[in-house]
Amino acid sequence: MSSEPAKLTPMMQQYFEVRRGLPKDTFLLFRLGDFFEMFFDDAIAGSRLLGLTLTKRQDFPMCGIPAHAADTYVTKLLAAGKKVALCDQAEPAKAGKLVRRQLTRILSPGTTLAANQLDAARNHYLCALAYDKLGLHAAWLDLSTGEFKVATDPSIANLLPVLTALDPAELLVIEGELARWQATPHDQTAVHALHAFCSGRLCSELAGYHFDTATGGKTVMDTLGVLNLQGFGLAHTHPALGPAGAVVYYATENLCAKPENLRTLQEYRSARTLLLDPATLRNLEIFASARGGREGSLFGAINRTVTPAGARLLERWLAAPTLELPEIIRRQTLVAELLAQPMRLLALRESLTNVRDIPRILGRLQNRLRNPRELGGVRDTLAQLPSLRAELTAFGSSQLSALSSQLQEFAHLRELLPRALADELPADLADGNYIRSGYDAELDRLRSLTSDNKTWLSDLERTEQERTGIRSLKVRFTNNFGYYIEVTKANLHLVPSDYIRRQTTVGGERYVTEALRQKEKEIFHAEENALAREFELFNALVAAVLDESIALTHTAEALAELDVLCGWALLAREWDYCQPVLDDSDVLEISEGRHPVVEQMLRSPDVTLPRGASAGFVPNDTALGCSEAQIALITGPNMAGKSTYIRQVALIALLAQIGCWVPAKSCRIGLVDRIFSRVGASDDLARGNSTFMVEMNETANILNNTTDRSLIILDEIGRGTSTYDGLSIAWAVVEHLHRDPAKGPRTLFATHYQELTQLEKHLTRLRNLSVAVKEWNDDIVFVRRVIPGAADRSYGIQVARLAGLPLSVIDRAKTILGKLESDDTTVSLPAAAPQARPKKKITVQPADDAQLKLL
According to the annotation, is 115 in a ligand binding site?
A: no
Of residues 850 and 133, which shows the higher confidence score? 133
Which candidate, 162, 195, 151, 155, places its Cα nearest to that of 177?
A: 195
| Section 570-589 average pLDDT | 96
Range with the poorest average pLDDT among 103-112, 134-143, 428-437, 599-608: 599-608
Instruction: Give the lowest-confidence range in 473-477, 634-638, 685-689, 766-770.
Output: 685-689
Question: In this predicted model, what pLDDT tens digit does every residue of 472-507 receive, in sequence order?
Answer: 999 988 767 788 999 999 999 999 999 999 888 888
Task: Please give the pLDDT value at position 653.
Answer: 97
Q: What is the pLDDT of residue 4?
A: 65
Rounded CA-CA distance 401/305 in Å is 21
- Is it the case that residue 92 has pLDDT exceeding 90? no
Percentage of the chain modeled with pLDDT above 90: 58
Q: Residue 480 and residue 503: Cα distance in Å, rounded?
A: 11
Over the stretch 32-48, which tens digit does the pLDDT of each residue have?
888 899 999 999 999 99
**How many Cα neighbours within 13 Å face the side chain of 414?**
12
Would you say 258 is a known binding-site residue? no
Task: Tell which residue, 700, 697, 695, has the closest CA to residue 716.
Answer: 695
768, pLDDT greater than 90? yes
Residues 6+ positions from 371 with CB-CB distance below 8 Å = 426, 427, 428, 429
Per-residue confidence (pLDDT) for residue 674, from 0 to 100: 94
Give the strands of the sheet with 35-39, arranged side by side.
Answer: 55-57, 60-66, 35-39, 26-32, 83-89, 101-107
**Quick check: 54 and 63 in contact, CB under 8 A?**
yes
Average pLDDT of the segment spanning 192-216: 91
At residue 1 the predicted structure's pLDDT band, cuts being 50, 70 and 90, is low
Residue 120 counted as an annotated binding residue:
no
Q: Is residue 299's pLDDT more than 70? A: yes
User: Do 418 and 383 form a contact (C-beta atoms < 8 A)?
Assistant: yes
Residue 136 has pLDDT above 90, yes or no: yes
* CA–CA separation, 355 and 818 (whole Å): 67
pLDDT at 123: 93
Examine the pLDDT at 247 and tell me if it is beyond 90.
Answer: yes
Which stretch of 147-156, 461-470, 480-489 has the lowest confidence by average pLDDT?
Answer: 480-489
Residue 636 annotated as lining a ligand binding site:
yes
Strand partners, 136: 131, 153
Fill in the DSSP letter of residue 558.
H
Let me know if 116 is exposed, middle or buried by CB neighbors in 10 A (0-12, 13-18, 19+).
exposed
Highest mean pLDDT pick, 36-45, 543-552, 751-760: 543-552
Q: What pLDDT is stored for residue 835 in this prediction?
A: 42
Q: Which of the given ranges, 154-168, 468-482, 629-643, has the highest pLDDT on average? A: 154-168
Predicted model pTM:
0.85
CA-based nearest residue to 264, from 358, 149, 163: 149
Structure confidence by residue, pLDDT tens digits, 801-837: 766 788 887 778 777 777 766 765 554 545 434 444 4
One-letter amino acid for residue 175 of the chain: E
Is the CA virtual torsion 722, 727, 730, 732 positive or negative? negative
CA distances, 152 to each of 160, 339, 556 (Å): 11, 39, 29
Tell me if 637 is assigned to a ligand binding site. yes
201: pLDDT strictly greater than 60: yes
Question: Widest CA span of the chain, in angstroms?
Answer: 118
Q: How confident is the model at residue 69 (pLDDT cuts 50, 70, 90)?
A: confident
**Mean pLDDT (the chain, rounded):** 87
Of 232-246, 267-281, 777-791, highest mean pLDDT = 232-246
Does 638 count as an annotated binding residue? yes
In a 3-state reduction of DSSP, which class is residue 625?
Answer: strand
Which pLDDT score, from 0 to 100, does residue 518 have? 85
Mean per-residue pLDDT, 240-252: 96
- Determine which helix (DSSP H) or strand (DSSP E) holds 359, and give its type and residue range: helix 358-366
Residue 363, annotated as binding a ligand: no
- Domains, the chain, in order of start with CATH, read 10-107 (3.40.1170.10), 120-272 (3.30.420.110), 325-410+548-575 (1.10.1420.10), 441-540 (1.10.1420.10), 581-850 (3.40.50.300)
**pLDDT number for residue 693:** 78
Q: Using the predicted structure, report yes or no on whether residue 164 has a pLDDT greater than 50.
A: yes
Question: 221-230 long-range CB contacts below 8 Å, 24 or more apart?
Answer: 223/248, 223/252, 223/258, 223/259, 223/262, 224/262, 224/263, 224/264, 224/265, 229/265
- pLDDT at 183 (0 to 100): 84
What's the rounded Cα separation, in Å, for the pair 364 and 115? 9
Once rounded to an integer, what is the mean pLDDT over residues 710-723? Answer: 84
Task: With a cut of 50, say whether residue 773 has pLDDT above it.
Answer: yes
Instruction: Please state, in angstroms and rounded to a whole number, the distance separating the CA atoms of residues 215 and 189.
Output: 31
**DSSP strand pairing (55-57 vs 60-66):** antiparallel
pLDDT digits (tens, 9 = 90+) for 503-529: 888 889 999 999 888 888 877 788 888
Tell me: the pLDDT tens digits for 329-377?
A: 999 999 999 999 999 999 999 999 999 999 999 999 999 888 999 999 9
For the chain, state the CA radius of gyration.
34
Neighbour tally for 483: CB within 10 Å? 18
Mean local confidence (pLDDT), 258-265:
93
pLDDT of residue 378: 97
Cα(296)–Cα(30) distance, rounded to whole angstroms? 43
User: Has 641 been labeled as part of a binding site?
Assistant: yes
Q: What is the pLDDT of residue 24?
A: 79
